[in-house]
Amino acid sequence: MCSALFQEVQEIQRVRILNIKPGPLLAGSHRPIVGDELKQFLSTLLS
């Protein structure tokens, strides 16, 4: 997205998406969203 506007990203910080906090993830990694965290996320999306 930034490259389409001819902008360079110098620093980026992942904070959260709705109730999902990334925690201590390394660049390029991911983690599963399960249990109550998933239920709350889906409930927010569907309401």
Q: In this predicted structure, what is the pLDDT of residue 15?
A: 84
Residues near 9 by beta carbon (within 8 Å), at least 6 away in sequence: 2
pLDDT per position as a tens digit, 1-47:
667 777 787 887 878 889 998 888 887 888 999 999 999 999 999 98
Range of the structural domain that residue 33 is part of: 1-47
Q: How far apart are CA 32 and CA 38, in angstroms?
A: 9
Domain count for the chain, please give it. 1
pTM of the model: 0.61
Q: How far apart are CA 40 and CA 45, in angstroms?
A: 9
Q: In this predicted structure, what is the pLDDT of residue 43?
A: 95
Residues near 45 by beta carbon (within 8 Å), at least 6 away in sequence: 18
Q: In this predicted structure, what is the pLDDT of residue 42?
A: 95
